[in-house]
Structure formats: C-alpha cells, structure tokens
Chains A and B, each alone.
Chain A
Amino acid sequence: MSKTEKFREKINAIIRAEESWEAVGQTPLPQVTDLRNWDFRLMRTYRPFYAPFCDLCCLCGLGKCDLTRDRKGACGIDIATQQARMILISCLMGAAAHGAHGRHLIEHLIEKHGEGHPLDLGDQVNVEAPIIRTVLGLKPKTLGDLRRAVEYVERELIHLVAATHTGQEGSNLDYESKAFHAGMLDHVALEACDIAQITGFNYPTSVAETPLVELGWGTIDRTKPVILLVGHNAAAANSMTDYLRRKNLLDKVELAGICCTALDTTRYNEGAKVVGPLAQQRFFLKTGIADVIVTDEQCVLADIPALAKETGAALIAWSDKICYGLDNVTEKETGEIVKMITGEKKQVLVLDPDKAAQTAVETALALAPTRNKVILTPEQAVEIAGRCRRKCEKCNQSCANLLPVATAVSQAGEGKLEPLADLFRKCTGCGKCEAACDFNLPILKLMAAAAGAEKYRMRVGRGPIHDVEIRKVGSPIVLGTIPGVVLFAGCSNYPDVGDVAWMAEELARRKYIVCLSGCAAMAAGMYKDADGRTIYEKHPPSFDAGGVLNVGSCVSNSHVVGAAIKIANIFAALPGRANFELIADYILNRVGACAVVWGPYSQKALAIGTGAIRWGIPLLLGPHGAKYRRLFLSKKEYDDWTVIDGRTEQLVDTREPTPEHMAIVVETRERALPTMIKLCMRRNDTAPGRAIKLHQYVSVYKEHLGTLPDDLQNFVRTERDVPLVYKKEVLAYLKAAGWQPKPTLSLPTIIGTYETKVPVSATLR
C-alpha cells in the first residue's frame, strides 16, 4: 500500500467513509494546501488590500527590520507578506480560542454524559452539522464524534502555527490561503462547540420562538446577592444554575453575565440576566454591583483582579486560560475556599467549573449582606465632573473611539449630563481616559451615572436554523426574491452601540433575514422604539423574510454559515460531504448573504470573518476593522467577471461585479446599509429577484446619499432587472451612463475557471 493510500485509509477511518449517507467528495479532512487553488481563485478577483499597522517587523532576533520603501527584512520578508503573516497569526489566535473552548466543553460534557452520548438537535434539524459534514466528511452522531472534529482542528493548527515562524512562508498569497484555512477550522470548532453545548446542556433547538430574557443594568436586582459571569464558557455558570436549583435559591440570587457567557447562561436558565456586551464590562465592574465576579475565558479584562479589589467584590477565576497569578485552590474543600475569600479577602483560581460554581454561590450568599452597593447619582456626577478644567484634553487624545470626552465631562460639570450620557452609548469601555486624567476623575462612573440604568429584552439564542425553514426559504433566497441574509456578528467596538439596532431594523423592514449573535445580538436589543419595543419584540424570530433571529453566542455563528451550506445541500441537493469547493462555489454565486462585524476588535472575529470569506460569504467591517490590516477588494467594473455557465460549461463574461468585494471596511452606518444590500446581490438572481434587490439599493442610496446609485449600471443586467417604482429615472440614468445589457445566467460557477478536481458538471444537480 502506498503512502497516499495509507493516509487515505486513515482519513476514511476517522470519517467512517463506509457510511453511505453521501458519497465522500474530493477533500475529506482537508490539509493546509488542499484548498489552496480555491483560495487563489478567490484572490484573483478579490485581491488582498493591506493597511500596515506598523512599518517594522519585530518578531525575531534578526530585527527589528524596517519594511518601508520596498525594503525587506533580514529574513527576506516584504511588507505585504509580513501583513499576511500577522493576519495568519491573528486568525490562529481566534481559531485556537474557539477550538480550546470547544475542546474544554466537549471533554467536560463527555465526563458528564459519556462519549457515546448522542447528538440530538430536535425534530426540525436533520442536517445536524453542515460545516463538519462539508469540511471533514464526517456525520457526527455523538459527543465523541465532536471530539474527532476538534482533534482535526488541532492537528491542522499546529502546521499553520509552524508556517508563521521566521524562515517559513514567503508569499503573502500563501499566508492568506493559510489564514483562510485557519478561518475554516475556526468554523469547525465553533460548530462542534455549540452542538456539544446544545446537546450536553439541553439548550433550545428546533424552536424559533425562544423566550425573551432581561437585558441591561436596570434589570439587576441589587438587593439580592449578585454573581457576575464574564467570558464565553458557560460550564461554571450552568453548574451554578443547577446548584441554585438544588438549593432552592434560584430566585434569591442574581445570575448576571457579560459577553457570551451571559447569552449561553440564558439558554440554560431564562431567569439569568444579560448585563450587556463586552463594551460594558469595565463600566459594570466599576459599579460594584457584583458581589462575586466569576471569570472564564476570552474577552475578559486583564485587570479584573484590580477592579474587583477596587469595589470589594470577590473574584473566582476557573479557566486555565486566565489564571491571573492567583493561588490555585482547586484541591481544597469548598467551605475552606469560601472562608479564604470572605475572611482573608483572597482572590482564587478554582480549575474545576463545578467547584467554582458552588464556591461562587456560597461566597455571594455570605458576602452580599456585608457589602454596601452604592452607585454614583447624577447629582454626585455633576459635582465630581465640576473638577474638570478641560484644558488638557488628555482624555480626548487617549480615547480609542475618538470621542469628545473633555467636552462632555466639562458640560456635565455645568449640570448638562446629556452629552455624557450620549458618550456612554459610544464608549467602548477601555478606560484609557481615566488613566490619562490629571485630576483622577472617575470618567466611566460619571458616564454610567449620566446614562442611568436601562432595561431591555432580548431573545434567547435559538441555535441551528431548521431544515424545514431552509426548504421554505431556499428558493426565494437563491432566486433573489428574499433579498438577502445578513449576519451581524462579533464584538462591541462600535462607533455607536445604536448602529446595530438601526441597521438591523432597516434590513428587517425591507424583508431581509437578519441573524444576530454574540455582542451584536445584545447591542441590537439595546434600543426601544416609540412604543417601548426592542427589535426582538417587533419582528418574528423565524428564518424567513423580515425575521430577526438571535442564534446565540459567538460559537453559534456557525449556524448561519451552516444555513448557507444547507441551502446548497438541502434545497439544491448538492452533495456536501467533503465537498468544500462545490458548496462554497454555490454560496459565492447563488446565496445572497453577507456577514457584518460592525464593532471588530478580537482575533476571534477576524477568524470567523476570514472563514466566512472562504465559504463565499462577503464580510463588511465597521471602521475599527481597518486595524485588522487586511481586506479583499475587487476593482469593481474594471475587473474580469468571467464565470462558467454550469449548463453549457462555456465561459461567460458577465461584466457584473457581484459580490463586489469579499471584505471591506465602511465608515458610517449610512454607507454600510447600501453596501450590505450590494453584497447580497448574486449573479444567479432572477430578474424579479434582482429588481427587488435593486429597489432596496436605490431607495437606501437615495435616502442617504441623495441620488440614484453612482454605480447602478454595474448591477442592472437587463431592463427586466429595473425596479418598477424607479423605472423611468433609472432607464434615463442608464442611457446617460452608456449602459449595455449584460448576460444573465441561471447556473453561474467559478468551478472550472481554476485547476480543481471538481468537475463543472458537479454544479448541476
């Protein structure tokens, strides 16, 4: 047996190739270079765009190396390749964070339920793991199978990390291909992680209308003991719910969370409260409302021990990712640990989520009656703000979100609190302004006092999109009559927290399907209309035109990518098993979807976004996204938009830039809206479908930019595409622009336009 055959045999064993649910495709368990040709084909149209963060490379002992003016580093690397290398490193951080999270939860749940525990996503979900099926070729049936998926991710990651070492890769395009691989692995990890917790914790699945839960500081009852959960791994939080339930204390202790742990806790316990997104972490910690702070992993502030001491709150860290230099007391009895915390005021590391949970509850019960939770009143804020001299502007200069802090604080000192309250909605909570202030003003507390404690409601994360929903909307999405699916994902580094709710509302009322996850799902809920309703109370929670869905936490993003895969696999009946290129090609050319990360900051969000691009889903980033330093842009109408007509297998120059870009940063929400609408156009749109999309594009563009779109001629293929309402003026515009009709295709594909083992005929089903 040859080496290749032996390797294939090994792969076949992992994915149980003999199972006949679908024939195994071209790329089971793809390795680093197996999808390289697909990546290079994408980058032929969508070229990497770099915005270097730094002129230097400081990664090895040969440097520092100055890479300006076409200089190369001592190792031979140039500025573009160095950017791509940093991108890969960032994507690896993100994928590793999700992968390790998944690995921990899977092992934790296997310990509880056994590795043979069956995966059950309910009667509405038969294609349980579209990403794992498509990438690995494995149909996971048990928690043990999810372990196999994560083991595959781990194996690939080690090769990718190796490639970032000095003296390895020397091409920016190959680094980008590796970053795509990291992004795709990230999606595998996300899916494995969320399926594991849905199954292991019995989270909602196969139901769209999940309960509405409370969101916002105002919902926290300070008279009760308050436990604050910070991070992304809800193992300890769910154990706390169990413990409280057993002790009949569920309504006597407030379980509140920040970031995704909050979302996943509400999937287990609908009485838990969501304080808010990541941006509110430092604000809330400074109020001292929490009696006990429990940290797990990802997006947790590095200075929480100091913040906890500042307010007299207890701190229990339980993840091996964040140990804070604390004493490891895992082996001690719970009662003893509680005494150490309450008596000796020790902050502790308890590397067992169940023990950490019990310790947190017992500590909160003991500590809460002794604490005086007084928060700053607006009157006190005015008095303190009066100490600002507004001369130095150091707060402005240090603001990571470029906000006019000095003006707002000094106006507050004069009794006008509105500007400070407005700042609160835009502040990302980094606290740099306080550190810079010569007068030691507690600027974050002032903002919080000015804003007051709001109460909102949000829907509990629903998990996977149902197969029956896919069957219903598959056709209108592919034909274009549902104008698009937009996923708002990622962090809360927003120009303004209100932007997400605004954009989501605009799209939902235009009959787009709006999916939300993580911090974006919380931010969307933090706005009420004139009738006091949040977006979740106004729109249906189904995956259908005008629906607004919270899929869940960061790891639940996998379900939206999964929905795009299911459209290809269930609606179009394309074989997905180990058929990455075929499915991604379908999504790229036929599924009108885009992802939006409006408040990007984390490496995880970069990994998610990069993975989405490899699947053929364009990515729109808010202004901070430029700091990721890489985008993928076409040259618009100046590019070659030739594809293959899957029916005739002939090359056709469509002259139609759809989707126009695969990753772009946009500065304002007014500009983001028409850009999203464009990114949901596909060559496959039927004339009525394109007319609907163009109707939305024209109406939004007119509203916010004042005229017909300046690039309208690029997206009208025939007169039948022209929306009826605007027909007269659009036709006049097209005539003046010298527009010529373009070919339309019902089966566009880029399979066959690059070297691949996938035959063009495979696209026709």
Chain B
Amino acid sequence: MPEREFLFVPYYTVNTLTGTKAARVVSDPVEAAEIIDRARNPLYILGPEAITAVVGEKLLLEYVFEIVKTNNILTCATAHVKKKMLAFGKRPDCVYDIIEIIHFLKMPDWQGVRGRGPHDLVLFTGVRCDLAERGLATLKHFAPHLKTFAVCRRGHPNADYTAPVIPRMEKWREYLEGIIKGLY
C-alpha cells in the first residue's frame, strides 16, 4: 500500500497549515471518485470561482455538473452562483452563503439539504481559497461527524481529503475528467 501523503503547504502560502491535522492528498482521480462514490449523502458546495474559471473548453461549473449528475449529489450554491446555474438550466438544491451552510453542517443533528439526513461528505469547489480554508477549519474542528473533500487545484490542508496542488491547467482538466470517468 503506498504511503499516504498529507498537505501542509498548499499553493497559496496564506493557507499554510499551522497545526497537526492535515488533509490527505488524493492524487489519483480514480480514488477521488471512489471517495465520492462511497458517500451515502454527499453535498457539493459551489463557490463563485466555479462560474468564472475556465478549464480547457468549459467552465469549472460544467465539470461539477458532470460529477453531481452521477450519484444525484445535492448542490449548494453560495455567493451569487445560483444565477449562472439557472442559465445552464440547473437549479441548486439549496442556496446559502458559504458561512451559513458551514454553520448548519457543523450541527450533528441537522437533517441536511432537502431533509435527507446528515451529510457524510461535503465537497468544495470554487470557493475563494482563503475563505474555504477557514470554513474547512471549522468543519475539521467542530464537525467530526462528516468528511470534507476540497476539489480545488490549489489544495486545502484543513480538509480531510484534498486534490493535490495542480498548477498546470491541462493537468487540472485531466484530474476533473478522471473523477468524472471514475464515477461512471
């Protein structure tokens, strides 16, 4: 079994971990897909970079649409993401700002989006990295009942699982497509 890699210093140095509990790096998109697939009630949180960042020919948001489609994963549109989702004909399952949804997620008795019960895995994409990192720190310390996965090419030490730091856009596209392929 390969040795596990943990992320202490991500792409942005402002997010360098000052602590002991670091995210496990999921370098293989197939493994990332397995983690998502294993979850009973995952929630995908979408931040505003998802509606502006272009990866290859598509918006980052469109890759997320592919990921959530596979397992009917619930979505939370934060910031002003909702409008763009609607433009693609997709309606988010809930609309909260990032701190609000994290506030709910840290309550172990919260019955989750659409009342389907507590979420066991929360995925993050497109949230401003320094803000996402703080939110992930909240969940790391105060929501031991769930796991977090930062699907972000800059890496997030405070998540339970994180994509590796992927500076090159082409590799990032391959990673996202690898997850999608792994889920189908």
Contact A667 B11 (CB under 8 A): no
Residues of chain B lying within 8 A (CB to CB) of residue A571: none
Contact A667 B98 (CB under 8 A): yes
Determine if B2 is an interface residue (Cβ-Cβ < 8 Å).
no
Per-residue interface assignment for chain A, residues 33 to 62, with 1 indicating a CB less than 8 Å from any chain B CB and 0 otherwise: 000000000000000011111111000000
The residues in B between 1 and 55 inclusive whose CB is less than 8 angstroms from any CB of A are 11-14, 17-21, 47-48
Contact A50 B141 (CB under 8 A): yes
Binding site for A on B (CB under 8 A): 11-14, 17-21, 47-48, 78-80, 82-83, 86-87, 94-95, 97-100, 102-104, 107, 127-131, 134-135, 137-138, 140-142, 144, 167
Contact B11 A668 (CB under 8 A): no
Contact A665 B131 (CB under 8 A): yes
A-B CB proximity, top 4 nearest = A55-B19, A706-B83, A626-B134, A670-B80
Per-residue interface assignment for chain A, residues 616 to 631, with 1 indicating a CB less than 8 Å from any chain B CB and 0 otherwise: 0000000110110101
> Once the chains are docked, how many angstroms separate the CA of A635 from the CA of B21?
28
Nearest to A703 among chain B residues (CB) is B83
Distance from B142 Cβ to chain A, minimum over Cβ atoms (Å): 7
Residues of chain A lying within 8 A (CB to CB) of residue B140: 68
Residues of chain A lying within 8 A (CB to CB) of residue B95: 705, 710
Contact A52 B14 (CB under 8 A): no
Contact A50 B142 (CB under 8 A): yes
Contact B80 A704 (CB under 8 A): yes
Contact A53 B11 (CB under 8 A): no
Question: When the two chains form the complex, which single residue of A55, A400, A623, A627 contacts B20, counting CB atoms closer than 8 Å?
Answer: A55
Distance from B45 Cβ to chain A, minimum over Cβ atoms (Å): 11
Nearest to B15 among chain A residues (CB) is A402
> Once the chains are docked, how many angstroms separate the CA of A92 from the CA of B51?
40
> Once the chains are docked, how many angstroms separate the CA of A52 from the CA of B106?
14
Distance from B170 Cβ to chain A, minimum over Cβ atoms (Å): 15
Contact A56 B80 (CB under 8 A): no
- Please judge, given known A-B contacts A393-B167, A636-B100, A705-B95, whether A50 and B18 are in contact too, CB under 8 Å: no
- Please judge, given known A-B contacts A400-B14, A667-B97, whether A79 and B141 are in contact too, CB under 8 Å: yes
Distance from A57 Cβ to chain B, minimum over Cβ atoms (Å): 11
- Please judge, given known A-B contacts A704-B83, A707-B86, whether A664 and B97 are in contact too, CB under 8 Å: yes
Question: When the two chains form the complex, which single residue of B11, B86, B130, B138 contacts A52, counting CB atoms closer than 8 Å?
Answer: B138
> Once the chains are docked, how many angstroms separate the CA of A670 from the CA of B80?
6
Distance from B19 Cβ to chain A, minimum over Cβ atoms (Å): 3
Per-residue interface assignment for chain A, residues 62 to 85, with 1 indicating a CB less than 8 Å from any chain B CB and 0 otherwise: 000011111000000001100000
Question: When the two chains form the complex, which single residue of B87, B100, B107, B129 contacts A402, counting CB atoms closer than 8 Å?
Answer: B129
The residues in A between 346 and 388 inclusive whose CB is less than 8 angstroms from any CB of B are none
Contact A668 B80 (CB under 8 A): yes
Contact B48 A705 (CB under 8 A): no
> Once the chains are docked, how many angstroms separate the CA of A589 from the CA of B158?
38
> Once the chains are docked, how many angstroms separate the CA of A710 from the CA of B81?
13
Nearest to B18 among chain A residues (CB) is A54
Contact A55 B135 (CB under 8 A): no
Determine if A633 is an interface residue (Cβ-Cβ < 8 Å).
yes
Contact B135 A51 (CB under 8 A): yes
> Once the chains are docked, how many angstroms separate the CA of A664 from the CA of B137?
16
